[in-house]
Structure 1
Amino acid sequence: MGLRGAPRPRTAASRNRTAALEQLWRAPTAQRDPVGPAPARRLPARGPVLAALTDLLGLAGPAWLLLRAGDQPRPLAAAAVAGLLWAGLRGARGRYTDRLRTEPGGAARAVGAVGDWLVLIGMLAVLHTAAGSPVDPATAVVAVAPGLLIAAAVAGLRRWPRSARRADRVRRVLLVGEAPGVDRAAGLLNSRTDHDYTLVAAVPVGTARLELEGVQVAGHLAACPADDDVSTVLGGVYAHEADLVLVAPGPQLTGDRLRRLGWGLHDRGVALSVLSELSGVAAERVRPVTAAGLTLLHIAPPLRGGPQAMVKNVLDRTGALFGLLALAPLLLAVALSVRLSSRGPVFHRQVRQGQHNRPFTMWKFRTMVADAEQLKAQLAVVNEVDGPLFKMRSDPRVTPVGRMLRRTSID
């Protein structure tokens, strides 16, 4: 007869139920080794502050000098106001944000800087009219022009190779995923240096081996979810001092498994990013949305109109105009060679089909004799290709100068 209040002995069935409940509610966490290395701590980003100060001084300094040289009233006050407006405008439009680092091309950054500068001109015009400033408007526009050039130059510095950046700006990345996804992501990261990510190691999922050489393997995850998933990844983070885990999702790395991995990493203060198969799309066009518990990436259509498209159009046409001016001596020499080497006009005009099957008139230097179309019927029997296209390896209608122009693609 047992004592009243004494605990009853546990049966095998009760022990199994308790173990099942513990297994269900237990999160796969790993205790950090107190003597092990901690993830690399990054210094606070000073890039946005330096960029804002550079824009402020880069516009205000030259503006003060130019306004003073032009005998404008109160040049220091006018330059200070313009510099503050310029830095404030750039900051309001997200030019200094460091929360999400993207890598737009040089053309996109130039368009953004020119758009900001045009907005600044409008703001200064409104302020000039409202305050009745005695500063000459034309001189003011010239005075703030160097600020645009300096802003574009500073933005271009962000595309320097990774070796030229400060060490505290580089993010040490640990790749996690199935072997094909890890190989693809590692190849892309290692093939370019215009980003802030450096690959330190990888944790493949499954039994497949990595094909890309030179990638350190910090561990392996089983093909199915396991309790040591977080422990294995954290071990790679601590061993290689990574501060970002980049996951390449796949069939063996499902949403539930990825979510549990994220819980464990975030509990330890390690950042997590998920690789997307989407490439070649500007980050400004991508917006995450949710629906029915799913995370969706909404892709906005490319810009076909508006101020930015107009600025890009102006830049393209201006660049083409300067290109024609720079090549004018060469084009003039080619025109004289065509005109003096054979009878006929210098240019050949032809109507071709363009985008959306819209016809356009093409102008090019003449490389054939003037009656080339009439001679085409006589040479039809020696056509070397089938169909409506007429092509000969040694076309007798091509002039000596035209042969050189075609070989060099100058025509």
Structure 2
Amino acid sequence: MGEHVEPTGDIGRTVQQGELVSPFPSVRGQPTDGEISRPAIDWEQRYRRTVIISDTVATAFVVAAIGGFFGARDAANWHEKWRILAFGTELLVIGALAMSRAWAPAVLGQGAEEFRRLGRSVFTAAVVLSLGGIALSSRNIKLWIFVAVPAIALVTMTERYLLRLWLHKQRKQGRCLRPVLAAGSPATVRDLIARARKFPHLGWRVEAVCTPNGLGVGDGRLDGVPVVGRLTDVAHQVRQGGYRVVAVTPAPDWSPERLQRLAWNLEGSDAEMVVAPVLMEVAEPRLQVDAVLGIPLLRVSMPTFTGGRRVIKGIVDRVGAALLLVLFAPLMVFIGILVLADSPGGVFYRQRRVGKAGREFTIFKFRTMVAGAHGARAALADHNEGAGLLFKLRRDPRVTRVGAVLRRYSIDELPQLFNVLTGSMSLVGPRPPLPEESAEYGPDIRRRLLVKPGLTGLWQISGRSDLPWEEAVRLDLRYVEDWSLALDAVILWKTLRAVLQGQGAY
């Protein structure tokens, strides 16, 4: 996950680690005595400016390329009106990005919200452009709506993704992190510290802690992070240390009045106050803050298992599976020949799995083991390396030579596209369990069966078989609870990288 940079109380060293390196070199010196340090402001501003410039250049490039290509083919009609449409398209896209807050620092570099806002901006620009074309009775407007705008969306999303990869690489090396002061009970703060260290790409580094009694454990630290004061000292410590984020975790000592007073005291400090709700695993699409009777309440909507979005997901599943089967048909024929040539047996392996609502179905895979492998499983039970209810062996003697390669890059799962096409599976969803596994599920884990199992999912892009059982279950339940079309798109995009790396596949 990259080298961990141990938190320190040395402000000068914190600034040095927090600065952004090439291609955005820092020009800010060390803070003088008495000056409030703001370790993360510089690199955040530089990254935001880079994103804005990249979006603008990418949009201009697409508009110029399309305008130049079609203008060269139809030079007689390439006049001032076309130039106005080209300039207007770029202006609309950039304006929509600004209006949708697609450059807000809080969404840059993490989560699906960045791409959701980007997509919403481009869609808004297309709608406004079409309305403008109707009003102006322009016959050339279709080119910009159906060619230029989708091309801009593709190029800008690719550019954003590449910038995000660079940022995540920097964060795994201990750079471009937002210094965080965590305030709450020792147990909840420990959980926050563990999550920040496990997922450095999210950009948080907990550098100081405030607890109800101002005490740590033994040497005055919590998991290596210094305890700098009580909950009443948070605002003072923020101004002294220049922390970028104040993460408030649950603690009995927090009251509405104390939290409100803390928010007032942080005004003008450049620190962002983040309050962790008790429902830690509920994602943003299901959360909404409402004022009821003058009291701010966190409204949690129910998970979506039916409705229009599910219909869209089903259509995308079947159309996507059909297109992928056509695309991979030559590869699948070639793999089938290799499987037959490598060892006796059939091309496909069929196995009963449990799907939505506990209904069993037959899953299809390319055969990766010798014939009769299932009967030899009992003899290998003592060597099981799988987590929880899973049975896995890193060096399974039943796996063939071709099968080892297919498993490493998950190519053996391509026939599951037939399961997606027939409706028993989805492109994205929880892992389909075996009947004997699901028979041992408790009430909580059985919530995985509320949706169709998936060809890929959060488990696949997060480590697959290397994940502890509890983490795999948590990811599946998180998907079931917080599913969205945007999350599906992100998972599908990240699956390609996970497959190419082969991490956790055996």
User: TM-score if structure 1 supplies the norm length?
Assistant: 0.62
Choose 1 or 2 for highest CA Rg: 1
Partner of residue 192, structure 2: 185
Partner of residue 64, structure 1: 64
Partner of residue 132, structure 1: 137
Tell me the distance in 1 between the aligned counterparts of 2:399 and 2:195.
Answer: 47
Structure 1 unaligned spans of 5+: 1-34, 222-228, 386-390
Count of aligned pairs: 347
Shift of 1:250: 0.7
Tell me the distance in 1 between the aligned counterparts of 2:269 and 2:369.
Answer: 73
Question: What is the SS of the residue equivalent to 1:273?
Answer: strand
Shift of 1:297: 1.4
User: TM-score if structure 2 supplies the norm length?
Assistant: 0.53
Whether the aligned pair in 1 keeps the contact of 2:210 and 2:234 (CA below 8 Å) is yes
Query: How do residues 307-346 of structure 1 correspond to structure 2 at under 5 angstroms?
Result: 328=329, 330-337=331-338, 346=347
Structure 1 residues 301, 37: closer, same or farther in 2, change over 3 A?
same
Whether the aligned pair in 2 keeps the contact of 1:114 and 1:311 (CA below 8 Å) is no
Structure 1 residues 191, 311: closer, same or farther in 2, change over 3 A?
same
Partner of residue 195, structure 1: 202
Tell me the distance in 1 between the aligned counterparts of 2:63 and 2:308.
Answer: 26
Shift of 1:53: 5.4
Structure 1 residues 54, 102: closer, same or farther in 2, change over 3 A?
closer
Whether the aligned pair in 1 keeps the contact of 2:184 and 2:250 (CA below 8 Å) is yes
Tell me the distance in 2 between the aligned counterparts of 1:294 and 1:335.
Answer: 63
Partner of residue 287, structure 2: 286
Tell me the distance in 1 between the aligned counterparts of 2:357 and 2:86.
Answer: 49
1:152 paired to 2:136:
no
Question: What is the SS of the residue equivalent to 1:146?
Answer: helix
Whether the aligned pair in 2 keeps the contact of 1:187 and 1:212 (CA below 8 Å) is no
Partner of residue 40, structure 1: 38
1:267-290 CA-to-partner distances (Å, cap 9, x unmatched) read 877653323343344324322224
Structure 1 residues 307, 115: closer, same or farther in 2, change over 3 A?
farther
Whether the aligned pair in 2 keeps the contact of 1:66 and 1:143 (CA below 8 Å) is yes
Shift of 1:196: 4.5
Question: What is the SS of the residue equivalent to 1:249?
Answer: coil
Partner of residue 182, structure 2: 175
Partner of residue 84, structure 2: 77
Tell me the distance in 1 between the aligned counterparts of 2:333 and 2:37.
Answer: 63
Partner of residue 216, structure 1: 226
Select the residue among 148, 168, 188 that pairs with 1:161: 168
Higher helix content, 1 or 2: 2
Shift of 1:255: 3.8
Tell me the distance in 1 between the aligned counterparts of 2:108 and 2:278.
Answer: 16
Give % identity. Answer: 24
Higher mean C-alpha deviation, range 299-308 or range 194-203: 299-308
Shift of 1:331: 2.4
Structure 1 residues 51, 302: closer, same or farther in 2, change over 3 A?
farther
Shift of 1:180: 1.9
Structure 1 residues 248, 340: closer, same or farther in 2, change over 3 A?
closer
Tell me the distance in 2 between the aligned counterparts of 1:90 and 1:203.
Answer: 38
Select the residue among 89, 94, 107 that pairs with 2:96: 89
Whether the aligned pair in 2 keeps the contact of 1:287 and 1:298 (CA below 8 Å) is yes
Shift of 1:60: 3.5
Tell me the distance in 1 between the aligned counterparts of 2:183 and 2:240.
Answer: 15
Partner of residue 241, structure 2: 240
1:31-69 CA-to-partner distances (Å, cap 9, x unmatched) read xxxx74435394795766764554344224322222222
Whether the aligned pair in 2 keeps the contact of 1:161 and 1:194 (CA below 8 Å) is yes
Whether the aligned pair in 2 keeps the contact of 1:48 and 1:96 (CA below 8 Å) is yes
1:143 paired to 2:153:
no
1:190-223 CA-to-partner distances (Å, cap 9, x unmatched) read 33333354433222322452664431332346xx
Query: How do residues 2-17 of structure 1 correspond to structure 2 at under 5 angstroms?
Result: none
1:105 paired to 2:133:
no
Shift of 1:145: 3.6
Structure 1 residues 307, 51: closer, same or farther in 2, change over 3 A?
farther
Letter in structure 1 aligned against 2:92 = L
